[in-house]
A and B are shown apart, each in its own frame.
Chain A
């Protein structure tokens, strides 16, 4: 029996399972144990069953119009409880600061008059929309759902790579990954307590209902999808299904007198809250792109007059602009008067002449990203780019310095990943999801771990063919009482991880199940004897 981990060699990057001396970190002991008991044959069978499971269930991701099963690796990414508490607090803090920033920038813009941000930085952002200036969401929330991308550097520190506060996707895979893993690897779950992820739809629905326009007691909430050809369509259906609400397309909706309605078999029905998964530019052909087939004419006016609430709000893109990102630690200090819990990755602002000189001199060592991009598009990784690509990049940066930022190449941390028949270290990131219901910010325990499958590859985006891993946040040891934990955790409708699980004996007397009465034994014997006695007569 070949040990699937005997050839596991960690590289320069931080490995989530093994430390530099080659001993297994405490959080990974149970997983390591399960893996060392498996042969490569076992692992291949598990991997196949995971892939079949996803194809069958249609858990797919569209890459260039082809539906592919979303690749799920069988080795989970494990996060120890104390570390998760830091991440959770850091993510929530960031979302609070970005909320305050958006509220400010779409009203008085004190952050500019106080000199924290230069004004042209905001007004030059492609996702700053004057159409929503002065719009006040009824419960003050603009970032109902946030996805904050985190990485771990070789020193073992968790850093924020980017914020996503427009329409972050990927949460459906967190839920389906968990379901798939529980069915194929039940024994790995048995020895430890992992915090559940299934509470997400309830949390999201609660937050969406609280965002309803004033005076609406029982709001109608819908999910707005671009349609079946969108790469995240699977996620839209899963969210609508698990929240028990309608999944609508733009053509199902209609605006009348500042209110939004959907066309149903019973006529028009009022819609109060729209969880939209359509980009700002496509939402309303009247205000934004006139050629949009996905939007609803008049939607922006309905938002402005308070007839409908959108989640996430229009114009959030200014907050996850990658140049604004470089100011987020300042924004945290300015709005919250707190020190940032999670630091940024070092970043050069290319508008600054000195920084630009330095970056252009050593482009081949750096990663350069467009400020308004998402999905890994347009990123140039210096050490892997050809000379022609670097020259083209140099020209584009000089033309539009506002459009780019540069970062050092960070060796993301690694997790064992099944590559053909053996486990090898592959780079991962983590996207935790935060839901803001206006009263507090809840962070889904874990999040989406994305893994880059080619050796040494550092871009982990799913639209670039990356895979994913189930992310396990371990429950704290039972002797810690819940009052020690941060106030962010509350248990209104979430997990009950601290309650002891006890078996309740069944004391109620059961009525036996009814069965069809049997033929009497005598009859059976007689029938039997007939056959025995007259074997020949039957043929006559």
Chain B
């Protein structure tokens, strides 16, 4: 598969996943902010934006938050930008992705709102984003051939899911009180969690469920395993370049071991730091994959010989 196309597939996976996860994060925190007292609004918004590495807004309001993470086309972190980037990549890889999948991404992009909306509009919008991402996931799982393109897309999706779950988990330490149920609900895993732990739980179990329980598909562990799996399959399919997968596989494996054998109490005490480590590793892996497979080339520059 062409390196350029592989790169597009990787980023389609990442951006669609990021759009969905941003919607989940926003939805979770909209609820927390509204249930909290008004005095905390600016703090809560600022914390949430910091978590998404946005720090250019002084005293953000709820409306700023919805713009920056939601509908503003000029903000690189917004859901709008995620879908615009996903669509741009899908357009570049159009001959390798199924027609239905392209139409799903293209139609979503066409229907994206750009005008600001209030909190009630926000829920409609965020639900819609999650539905579109679910549709994307369903179509791709249903009809895509499991070739390298699929593997790169899954790899991107898994890495993004690891990164975003770590941010969502870190957000649990932002506000004090009963935020774990909200975070679990944000992942769509609240009911599954209650069933797994018979309704009796502490922060410790919640963190365990979201970080190290590989059975839950939105957990960090599940994402790490899935990303490594995709990478290994790419290596198997391309025996000549099998060694290219090694740096990325090593980083993924090291992080996996670190989380798997972590003392859960320490993990909760240092939740923020540990989640930063997770985000660092996903960045490293992403860079390793691009250097090994996407072969970033300098555009050729031509110089004229001698004097005329």
Distance in angstroms from B262 CB to nearest chain A CB is 34
- Minimum CB distance partner of B149 in chain A: A265
- In the bound complex, what is the Cα–Cα distance between A297 and B152 (angstroms)? 29
Partner of A237, one of B88, B95, B234: B95
A-B pairs with beta carbons under 8 Å apart, 27 shown: A57-B102, A57-B103, A58-B102, A228-B91, A238-B95, A241-B99, A247-B94, A248-B2, A248-B4, A249-B4, A251-B299, A263-B2, A263-B3, A263-B297, A264-B1, A264-B2, A264-B6, A265-B1, A265-B2, A265-B238, A265-B241, A266-B238, A285-B302, A290-B302, A290-B304, A293-B299, A297-B300
Query: A55 on the interface (CB 8 Å rule)?
Result: yes
- In the bound complex, what is the Cα–Cα distance between A265 and B88 (angstroms)? 21
Contact in complex: B3, A264 (CB < 8 Å): yes
Contact in complex: A228, B110 (CB < 8 Å): no
Query: A364 on the interface (CB 8 Å rule)?
Result: no
- In the bound complex, what is the Cα–Cα distance between A233 and B90 (angstroms)? 13
Query: A262 on the interface (CB 8 Å rule)?
Result: yes
Contacts of B304 in A (CB 8 A): 290
Top 7 A-B pairs ranked by shortest CB distance?
A: A266-B238, A240-B95, A241-B95, A237-B94, A247-B95, A237-B95, A263-B3
Contact in complex: B6, A285 (CB < 8 Å): no
Query: A246 on the interface (CB 8 Å rule)?
Result: yes
- Minimum CB distance partner of B97 in chain A: A241
Partner of B106, one of A57, A240, A246, A291: A57
Contacts of A267 in B (CB 8 A): 238, 240-241
Partner of A58, one of B3, B91, B237, B293: B91
Distance in angstroms from A276 CB to nearest chain B CB is 16
Q: Per-position contact with B for A236-279: 1 when CB-CB < 8 Å, else 0? A: 01101100001111011000000000111111000000000000
- Minimum CB distance partner of B98 in chain A: A241
Interface of A, secondary structure class, is: mixed
Contacts of B103 in A (CB 8 A): 56-58
Interface of B, secondary structure class, is: helix
Partner of A285, one of B4, B92, B95, B300: B300
Query: B134 on the interface (CB 8 Å rule)?
Result: no
Most buried by A among B92, B241, B297: B92
- Minimum CB distance partner of B92 in chain A: A228
Distance in angstroms from B104 CB to nearest chain A CB is 10
A interface residues, Cβ below 8 angstroms from B: 55-58, 228, 233, 237-238, 240-241, 246-249, 251-252, 262-267, 285, 290-291, 293, 297
Take A247-B95, A285-B302, A291-B302 as given contacts and tell me if A262 and B2 are in contact as well, using a CB distance cutoff of 8 Å. Answer: yes
Contact in complex: B94, A241 (CB < 8 Å): yes
User: What number of A-B contacts does a CB cutoff of 8 Å give?
Assistant: 76
Contact in complex: B95, A266 (CB < 8 Å): no
Distance in angstroms from B120 CB to nearest chain A CB is 28
Contacts of B34 in A (CB 8 A): none
Query: B50 on the interface (CB 8 Å rule)?
Result: no
Query: B295 on the interface (CB 8 Å rule)?
Result: yes
Contact in complex: B6, A265 (CB < 8 Å): yes
Contacts of A233 in B (CB 8 A): 91
Contacts of A57 in B (CB 8 A): 99, 102-103, 106
- In the bound complex, what is the Cα–Cα distance between A483 and B188 (angstroms)? 67
Contact in complex: A56, B110 (CB < 8 Å): yes
Contacts of A297 in B (CB 8 A): 300
- In the bound complex, what is the Cα–Cα distance between A247 and B148 (angstroms)? 16
- Minimum CB distance partner of A295 in chain B: B300
Contacts of B237 in A (CB 8 A): 266
- Minimum CB distance partner of B234 in chain A: A265
Contact in complex: A265, B302 (CB < 8 Å): no
- In the bound complex, what is the Cα–Cα distance between A57 and B100 (angstroms)? 9
Query: B107 on the interface (CB 8 Å rule)?
Result: yes
The residues in B between 223 and 270 inclusive whose CB is less than 8 angstroms from any CB of A are 234, 237-238, 240-241
The residues in B between 145 and 178 inclusive whose CB is less than 8 angstroms from any CB of A are 148, 152
Contacts of A248 in B (CB 8 A): 2, 4
Partner of B2, one of A246, A291, A293: A246
The residues in B between 38 and 66 inclusive whose CB is less than 8 angstroms from any CB of A are none
Contacts of A266 in B (CB 8 A): 1, 237-238, 240-241
Contact in complex: B148, A265 (CB < 8 Å): yes
Contact in complex: A265, B107 (CB < 8 Å): no
Distance in angstroms from A241 CB to nearest chain B CB is 4
- Minimum CB distance partner of A289 in chain B: B302
- In the bound complex, what is the Cα–Cα distance between A290 and B305 (angstroms)? 12
Contacts of B234 in A (CB 8 A): 265
Contacts of B240 in A (CB 8 A): 266-267
Distance in angstroms from A267 CB to nearest chain B CB is 5
Distance in angstroms from B135 CB to nearest chain A CB is 14
Distance in angstroms from A414 CB to nearest chain B CB is 34
- Minimum CB distance partner of B107 in chain A: A56
Distance in angstroms from A428 CB to nearest chain B CB is 29
Contacts of A249 in B (CB 8 A): 4
Sample of 15 further A-B pairs with CB below 8 A, known A58-B91, A265-B238: A56-B107, A58-B103, A58-B106, A228-B88, A233-B91, A241-B99, A263-B3, A264-B3, A265-B1, A266-B1, A267-B240, A285-B300, A291-B302, A293-B299, A297-B300
Contact in complex: A251, B297 (CB < 8 Å): yes
- In the bound complex, what is the Cα–Cα distance between A57 and B91 (angstroms)? 11
- In the bound complex, what is the Cα–Cα distance between A247 and B94 (angstroms)? 9
- In the bound complex, what is the Cα–Cα distance between A285 and B2 (angstroms)? 22
- In the bound complex, what is the Cα–Cα distance between A499 and B76 (angstroms)? 58
Contacts of B295 in A (CB 8 A): 263
The residues in B between 284 and 308 inclusive whose CB is less than 8 angstroms from any CB of A are 293, 295, 297, 299-300, 302, 304
Contacts of B2 in A (CB 8 A): 246, 248, 252, 262-265
- In the bound complex, what is the Cα–Cα distance between A218 and B2 (angstroms)? 19
Contact in complex: B238, A252 (CB < 8 Å): no
- In the bound complex, what is the Cα–Cα distance between A56 and B110 (angstroms)? 8
- In the bound complex, what is the Cα–Cα distance between A241 and B103 (angstroms)? 15
Contacts of A252 in B (CB 8 A): 2-4
- In the bound complex, what is the Cα–Cα distance between A470 and B87 (angstroms)? 29
- In the bound complex, what is the Cα–Cα distance between A55 and B103 (angstroms)? 9
Contact in complex: A251, B4 (CB < 8 Å): yes
- In the bound complex, what is the Cα–Cα distance between A211 and B277 (angstroms)? 55
Partner of B3, one of A247, A265, A285: A265
Most buried by A among B1, B92, B94: B94
Distance in angstroms from A384 CB to nearest chain B CB is 36
Contacts of A246 in B (CB 8 A): 2, 5, 95
- Minimum CB distance partner of A222 in chain B: B2
Contacts of B152 in A (CB 8 A): 265
Distance in angstroms from B86 CB to nearest chain A CB is 13
Contacts of B88 in A (CB 8 A): 228
- In the bound complex, what is the Cα–Cα distance between A184 and B95 (angstroms)? 25
Contacts of A241 in B (CB 8 A): 94-96, 99
Distance in angstroms from B96 CB to nearest chain A CB is 8
Contacts of A247 in B (CB 8 A): 94-95
- In the bound complex, what is the Cα–Cα distance between A249 and B5 (angstroms)? 10
- In the bound complex, what is the Cα–Cα distance between A290 and B300 (angstroms)? 10
- Minimum CB distance partner of B239 in chain A: A266
